[in-house]
Amino acid sequence: KQEVTQIPAALSVPEGENLVLNCSFTDSAIYNLQWFRQDPGKGLTSLLLIQSSQREQTSGRLNASLDKSSGRSTLYIAASQPGDSATYLCAVREEYGNKLVFGAGTILRVKS
Amino acid sequence: GAGVSQTPSNKVTEKGKYVELRCDPISGHTALYWYRQSLGQGPEFLIYFQGTGAADDSGLPNDRFFAVRPEGSVSTLKIQRTERGDSAVYLCASSLFGTGRWETQYFGPGTRLLVL
């Protein structure tokens, strides 16, 4: 059974700092991996999607990497801003199926 | 609307009652998903529809939970004899085809269910 773990569970940083969120998964037979953002009381917003054959994806200040063989992904946020404060969720889609398997998330607070 | 919508946004019920949660997917999306998110956890898969049929219902926790999508658009998640442990945020998502390496799921804001 696929299990997704995110470290740290919570992170508080001053504005402007670069930071890394970690995600690991137990079964490397994945189709793709996504990073989502969740704001309180709201749904999930997809940030980046990495195919199993790719190593990384970039969007603005966000960069996500994927090492499928070791079951790891990182989300790098450059020059963090208070507006980045949210819960960040990592999810994998397995090769044979359509559902997403999520980690518990990292709660990020960026202090101004 | 442009996104996935869910109603009601909040639902409070008593233990043992029946509830229905509604999801309106993005127009034209054939795939629809239900997830459940407990406090401090990530969403957990419940059921996936491709068109009108449930293609994967392996995440439904027991036979008190049932979902339908009779016309391939709106879906209703039905919970019978609610228990306090059913309290959670129920999220609905839709995607264009359900397949495709680049396809992402678009999530609604969720229904927060509280069973007293």
Q: What is the mean pLDDT of chain B?
A: 94
CA distances (Å), origin A109, targets A4, A96, B11: 22, 36, 29
Interchain CB distance below 8 Å, A104 and B41: yes
CB contact under 8 A, B42 and A102: yes
- Other beta carbons within 10 Å of B46: 22
Mean pLDDT over residues B20-37, rounded? 96
A14-61 confidence digits (pLDDT tens): 999 999 999 999 999 999 999 999 998 888 999 999 999 999 999 999
* Distance (Å, whole) CA B109 – CA A35: 17
Interface test with A, best of B35, B94, B105 (most A CBs within 10 A): B105
A31 and B101: CB-CB below 8 Å?
Answer: yes
Q: How confident is the model at residue A97, as a pLDDT?
A: 79
The predicted structure's pLDDT at residue B78? 98
The answer on pLDDT for B1 being more than 70 is no
pLDDT of residue B101: 63
Residue that the structure tokens 């190593």 belong to: A55
Range of lowest pLDDT (A5-14, B73-82, B94-103)? B94-103
* Residue from A99, A102, A106, A107 to probe the interface with B (highest B Cβ count within 10 Å): A99
Residue type, position B62, single letter: N
Is A40 an interface residue toward B (CB < 8 Å)? Answer: no
Instruction: Report the alpha-carbon angle A66-B104-B66, nearest 5.
Output: 120
